[in-house]
């Protein structure tokens, strides 16, 4: 979508938009045409059908490999401020903390778009740091980037659940992972080294992972104990899990990564919640990791920018074991005409709607 500046981040942790000083910047005709094409629930003045409205039960059915009236829709990484304001008809309002979007605006946007569930983020970013191989990396990260207050995050989730009541919009909790965060501490000069050798030489990286797993596991425990019944599922966002070097050495992934992931998501599994991995991993890399991920307790794969052919292959190969979530890669939107986007979306929707999950 068109923008005059940096693209906004996720819908719950957006920083103030510095691309323009206008409170509301409506989309122009071409923007609106693209939105009409790409977002199934977005209409101008046309009468909406029943399937255009959000329904978290639709999503729950899909997660259980049951037939649904249409493919569920999620807004995984955030639509962006301009798109939200065009749909809402007013500037995006902020919560009391001044950073997060007001829960009522998030839910109303999802309702108008036909989005079946929205995410509430529990994120702790711990880098980058000036990496000292001899230092206590976990202690340095904790001091430089203090963990967010859990009470504030739980309040944000409660507000979102309250706003979503009766709207049909579901809510899921998304937690930042521990692998990508750990890699952020590696200085550029070491970025090309093999990861297995890096972990062997610097045990402080493991200590940092353990700190993140412990903190996020505790946060997940609090979320599940208090709000578990109201959530559609739990998600772990970690793009680095698709790193080819991480999967090249099976011992590294199976012995160091998968057990920690299993430990982190234990609270969700104990509460009977399905757990997703939100990643930018390629299909080939992910297929190598799937057996270990399933064993660890992952039952959903959320592709951020999927290769549709790879998504189709994985959906067929792992049908009944893992739910696959994906869509048309964002990179293609600027390369295709509206007719081509229409054709591809229609073709993919028909293809994937034939199989549950």
pLDDT at residue 38 tops 60: no
pLDDT at residue 161 tops 90: yes
Q: Which residues of 94-111 are buried (b: 16+ CB within 10 A; e: fewer)?
A: ebeeeebbbbbbbbbbbb
Token pair 């065009």 in the structure block, residue: 86
Half-sphere exposure (CA, 13 Å, Cβ side) for 198? 19
Reported confidence tier of residue 129, pLDDT bands at 50, 70, 90: confident
Reported confidence tier of residue 126, pLDDT bands at 50, 70, 90: confident
Token pair 């972990």 in the structure block, residue: 199
Average pLDDT value for residue range 231-246: 82
Reported confidence tier of residue 228, pLDDT bands at 50, 70, 90: very high
Q: Are 283 and 326 in contact (CB under 8 A)?
A: no
pLDDT for residue 24: 38
Which of 307-311, 325-329, 330-334, 342-346 holds the top average pLDDT? 342-346
pLDDT for residue 200: 61
Reported confidence tier of residue 345, pLDDT bands at 50, 70, 90: confident
Reported confidence tier of residue 186, pLDDT bands at 50, 70, 90: low
Closest to 54 (Cα-Cα) out of 115, 104, 108: 115
CA distances from 194 to 45, 64, 118, 126, 129 (A): 55, 39, 37, 22, 20
Peptide bond into 226 cis (omega under 30): no
Reported confidence tier of residue 19, pLDDT bands at 50, 70, 90: very low
Half-sphere exposure (CA, 13 Å, Cβ side) for 123? 17
Work out the mean pLDDT of the chain and round it to a whole number: 79
pLDDT at residue 164 tops 90: yes
Structure confidence by residue, pLDDT tens digits, 41-62: 444 444 567 668 999 999 999 9
pLDDT at residue 232 tops 70: yes
For the packed helices 150-164 and 103-113, what is the interaxial angle rounded to 10 degrees?
A: 40
Which of residues 216 and 39 earns the better pLDDT score? 216
Reported confidence tier of residue 168, pLDDT bands at 50, 70, 90: very high
Listed range (23-37, 214-228, 281-295) with the worst mean pLDDT: 23-37
Reported confidence tier of residue 10, pLDDT bands at 50, 70, 90: very low
């Amino acid at each position: 979508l068109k923008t005059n500046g940096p693209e906004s981040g996720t819908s719950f942790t957006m920083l103030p938009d510095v691309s323009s000083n206008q409170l509301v910047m409506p989309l122009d005709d071409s923007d609106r045409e693209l939105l009409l094409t790409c977002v199934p629930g977005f209409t101008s003045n046309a009468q909406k059908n029943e399937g255009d409205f959000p329904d978290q039960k639709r999503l729950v059915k899909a997660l259980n490999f049951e037939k649904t009236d249409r493919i569920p829709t999620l807004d995984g990484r955030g639509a962006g401020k301009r798109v939200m304001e065009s749909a809402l008809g007013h500037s995006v309002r902020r919560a009391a903390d001044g950073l997060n979007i007001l829960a009522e605006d998030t839910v109303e946007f999802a309702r108008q778009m036909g989005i079946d569930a929205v995410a509430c983020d529990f994120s702790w970013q711990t880098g980058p740091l000036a990496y000292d191989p001899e230092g206590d990396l976990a202690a340095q990260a904790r001091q430089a980037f203090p963990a967010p207050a859990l009470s504030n995050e739980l309040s944000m989730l409660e507000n979102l659940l309250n706003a979503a009541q009766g709207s049909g919009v579901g809510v899921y909790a998304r937690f930042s992972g521990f692998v990508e965060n750990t890699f952020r501490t590696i200085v550029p000069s070491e970025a090309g080294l093999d990861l297995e050798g890096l972990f062997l030489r610097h045990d402080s990286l493991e200590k940092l992972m353990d700190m993140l797993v412990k903190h996020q596991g505790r946060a997940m425990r609090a979320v599940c104990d208090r709000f578990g019944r109201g959530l559609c599922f739990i998600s772990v966002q970690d793009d680095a899990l698709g790193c080819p070097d991480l999967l090249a050495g099976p011992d590294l992934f199976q012995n160091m990564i998968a057990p920690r992931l299993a430990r982190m998501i234990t609270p969700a599994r104990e509460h009977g919640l399905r757990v997703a991995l939100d990643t930018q991993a390629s299909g080939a890399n992910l297929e190598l990791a799937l057996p270990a991920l399933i064993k660890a307790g992952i039952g959903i794969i959320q592709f951020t920018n999927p290769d549709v052919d790879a998504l189709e292959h994985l959906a067929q190969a792992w049908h009944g074991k893992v739910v696959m979530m994906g869509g048309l890669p964002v990179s293609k939107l600027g390369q295709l005409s509206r007719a081509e986007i229409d054709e591809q979306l229609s073709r993919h929707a028909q293809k994937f709607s034939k199989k549950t999950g």
